[in-house]
Amino acid sequence: MPDYGHVIDGVEVESRTGATFASIDPWTQEPWTQVALGDATDAARAVAAARRAFDDGPWPRLSYAERGAILHRLADLIEDHAGELAHADTRDMGKPVAQSRGNDVPRAAHNFRFFADHARLATAAALPMDDRHHVYTRFEPAGVVAAIAPWNFPLMLESWKIAPALAWGNTVVLKPAEDTPISATLLARLASDAGLPPGVLNVVHGYGPDSAGQALTQHPCVNRITFTGESATGRTIARAAAPNLTPLSLELGGKGANLVFADADLGNAVDWSVRAAFTNAGQICLAGSRLFVQQEVFDEFLDRFVVAAETLVIGDPKDPATQFGPLASRAHHRKVFSYLNSIEGEGGTIRTGGPGDGWIVRPTIITGLRPDARHSREEIFGPLVTVIPFSTEEEAVALANDTHFGLNAMLFTDDLSRAHRIAARLDAGTVWVNCFFVRDLRAPFGGVGDSGIGREGGNYSRDFFTEPKAVVIQL
């Protein structure tokens, strides 16, 4: 048995074949633990367990309050085991422990608490029609949910999918990313301790293509697929789901625009822009990787932005003082490095940054690139940000919208009318004004264009993870 197994029907098991794979610590570049390597057979076992738990088990038939109590207990256990969970994500992907312990794990617990309460309070809508009829809505659980997650916020993004799916009475098969498997098994162990019945939350490890991931997306007994990952993978999954007409929620890539106007509080804009570009070593779908700064303040902003980027503490992600760690894997480092190597050939200048030790790429600020250069258009998913000047509001909006992606945008201005005017014109699922990353879980979250299909959050998650049913009554 490897250190971390699949969790199927409430039991931690190895793969049918006995296959395992190593999880690599990006700081040491060495394996740090062994994990069960699943395939289509293991995925089918997990789906069968989830199906049984849904069709015959208590979970979908419990009251919202009963399910909510168990999910709150799970949130308590996540908080009690915060150190272990944070350590797992930090070793799996090199995320500084200050972030995994300070942000990701508390947010995972909050996701369970929020959706436990939301489901209890948002269960029905009654619509009186006339003297003789009324109609009400029941939100029936959809069934078996396949949740396929990326590696950049492992536990946090997995809980963003699992919490609403469970709160609304579904059963789940989670496939974490192959680079970050450990916190998923830890979560399933805690779920069992919290009183989740067997088969309600299953975890199967493995890869995507020709492996456990693909098998889940093609399985006819899966009723919903919630996927977060690359846009190209989203397209593949949509094709795999089509023969079964399985409904999909796709949260995909991004190339966030960040507009800084001359009237903005520059200190605030610099502060948020550093976080938007370099948190998690830039491995954020929401990263503000295209920065557009109004001509009048371009030089001043750039100077301050460079200084702020250079103060980030780079080092061992296990050290609580570290703010910036290595990229998540050898393959990803190679990809980001190739963008780094081609900056000057494309006419760009590196103002600060460049290669670091091991799999580190230092916070890199680039000027002189055209808006249509590939660094400005493709999702690099690393700590590279292009800074480009603009003159007018019209030009800023055109630059921001000149992308296939549309997950998010940011703008910094002290002109309230301008803020509303531009927010309305930006093609993005979320627009942040004078801030970044601030979330309310009731709000819609998702993207336009290549950034995805559908929205999750609050009632949007409810509508995806249930079959809303109208019951019309004649009195």
What is the nearest approach in angstroms of ligand NAD to the Cβ of residue 253? 3
- Closer to ligand NAD by CB, 20 or 294: give it: 20
Do the beta carbons of residue 202 and residue 50 sit within 8 Å?
Answer: yes
Told to check if 401 binds ligand NAD by CB under 6 A, we report no
Q: Which of residues 256-285 bind ligand NAD (CB under 6 A)?
A: 285
Told to check if 233 binds ligand NAD by CB under 6 A, we report yes
Q: Which stretch binds ligand NAD (CB under 6 A): 19-27, 173-181, 294-302, 309-317?
A: 173-181
Q: Which stretch binds ligand NAD (CB under 6 A): 5-13, 134-142, 227-235, 360-368?
A: 227-235
CA distance 164 to 282: 27
> Choosing from 251, 379, 393, 395, which is the catalytic residue?
251
- Closer to ligand NAD by CB, 33 or 236: give it: 236
Q: For 198, how many CA atoms within 13 A lie in the half-sphere containing its CB?
A: 9
Q: Which of 97, 148, 361, 441 binds ligand NAD (CB under 6 A)?
A: 148
Q: Which of 20, 228, 289, 386 binds ligand NAD (CB under 6 A)?
A: 228
Q: Are strands 20-25 and 30-36 parallel, antiparallel or unpaired?
A: antiparallel
Q: Which stretch binds ligand NAD (CB under 6 A): 98-106, 171-179, 349-357, 419-427?
A: 171-179
**Nearest residue to ligand NAD on Cβ basis:** 208
- Closer to ligand NAD by CB, 246 or 413: give it: 246
Q: Which of 85, 149, 196, 385 binds ligand NAD (CB under 6 A)?
A: 149
CA distance 9 to 329: 31
* Token couple for 413: 């201005």
The conformational region for residue 250 under phi > 0 = left, psi -120 to 50 = alpha, else beta, is beta
Q: What is the DSSP letter of 211?
A: S
Q: Which residues contact 443 (CB under 8 A, 6 or more apart)?
A: 430, 457, 458
Q: Which stretch binds ligand NAD (CB under 6 A): 8-16, 115-123, 210-218, 413-421?
A: 210-218
* Token couple for 354: 């460049």
Distances (CA, A) of 230 to 189, 216, 325, 382: 28, 17, 22, 14
Told to check if 177 binds ligand NAD by CB under 6 A, we report yes
Active-site residue, 251 included? yes
Told to check if 236 binds ligand NAD by CB under 6 A, we report yes
CA dihedral sign, ordered 312, 313, 315, 318: negative
Site string for ligand NAD, 178-207 (x = CB under 6 A): x----------------------------x
Task: For residue 316, count CB atoms less than 10 angstroms from its CB and return exposed for 0-12, middle for 13-18, buried for 19 or more.
Answer: middle
- Sequence length of the chain is 475
CA distance 152 to 282: 10
> Choosing from 158, 285, 379, 456, which is the catalytic residue?
285
Secondary structure E strands in 209-368: 224-228, 248-251, 257-260, 290-294, 349-355, 361-367
User: Would you please indicate which residues are annotated as catalytic (active-site) residues?
Assistant: 251, 285
Tell me which residues touch ligand NAD (CB under 6 A). Answer: 148-152, 157, 175, 177-178, 207-209, 213-214, 217, 228-230, 233, 236-237, 251-254, 285, 379, 381, 407, 447, 452
